[in-house]
Amino acid sequence: CSRIHNKPTFSQTVLILNLYCNPQNSAKSADGSHSTVSDEEMQEHYDNFFEEVFVECEDRYGEIEEMNVCDNLGDHLVGNVYIKFKYEEDAEKAVVDLNNRWFGGRAINAELSPVTDFREACCR
Amino acid sequence: RRKSRRKKPSLYWDKPPPGFEHITPIQYKAMQAAGQIPSNVTV
């Protein structure tokens, strides 16, 4: 994002950048025409993705209060995953560890996010 | 209520890009930052 965001030193919320790849989006950008991925396939793909991320992060780093996946087409938001942990220590641990892990053939970019209430979250 | 719900090996976790299995994600990102490999990540 081109706007300036304050990155907090402590936060319960972890932002993982561009983690989710919507198969419909990739299909569109690949040939410029309509998507060949059905809505059902997309939903299944998304559900699997969500479960994998949620289960792995909760098992490994600690209890999760809330998890959100951005699925819009804004370049700076697409595929971003926000995970709000119950404890700040868990979030901090998660950022450090996630930044040295692979995910689906890509390196993970994780950072702490100031967002704690997702209804209020928008780029100002 | 905490129990492991993992029931199958992951499709995504710890899967490096083909050809980059020998380096760490941190090294990979440093190479992206240095322009040595293409970066398709937009921030």
Q: Which residue of A has its CA nearest to B31?
A: A107
Q: Which of A59, A75, A103 sits opposite B4 (nearest CB)?
A: A59
What single letter denotes the amino acid at residue B11? L
Q: State residue A16 phi and psi, 5-degree precision.
A: -110, 120
For residue range A15-44, what is the model confidence (pLDDT) as tens digits? 998 888 877 665 554 555 555 778 888 889
**pLDDT at position B42 over 80:** no
What is the token pair recorded at B25?
A: 């994600």
Mean pLDDT within A97-114? 93
Q: What is the pLDDT of residue A115?
A: 76
- Identify the band that residue B41 occupies on the pLDDT scale cut at 50, 70 and 90: very low
Could you tell me which residues of chain A have a Cβ less than 8 Å from any Cβ in chain B? Answer: 1, 17-18, 48-49, 52-53, 55-56, 59, 63, 75-76, 99-109
What is the ipTM metric for this complex? Answer: 0.76
Cα(B7)–Cα(B20) distance, rounded to whole angstroms?
Answer: 28
What single letter denotes the amino acid at residue A71? D
Mean pLDDT within A70-86? 78
Q: Which residue of B has its CA nearest to A18?
A: B41
Q: Which DSSP state fits A77?
A: T
Averaged pLDDT of chain B: 80
Q: Which of A76, A99, A108 sits opposite B42 (nearest CB)?
A: A76
Mean pLDDT within A98-107? 95
- Contacts for A37 with CB less than 8 Å, ≥ 6 apart: A23, A24, A27, A45
Instruction: State the nearest Cα–Cα gap between B26 and chain A, in angstroms.
Output: 6
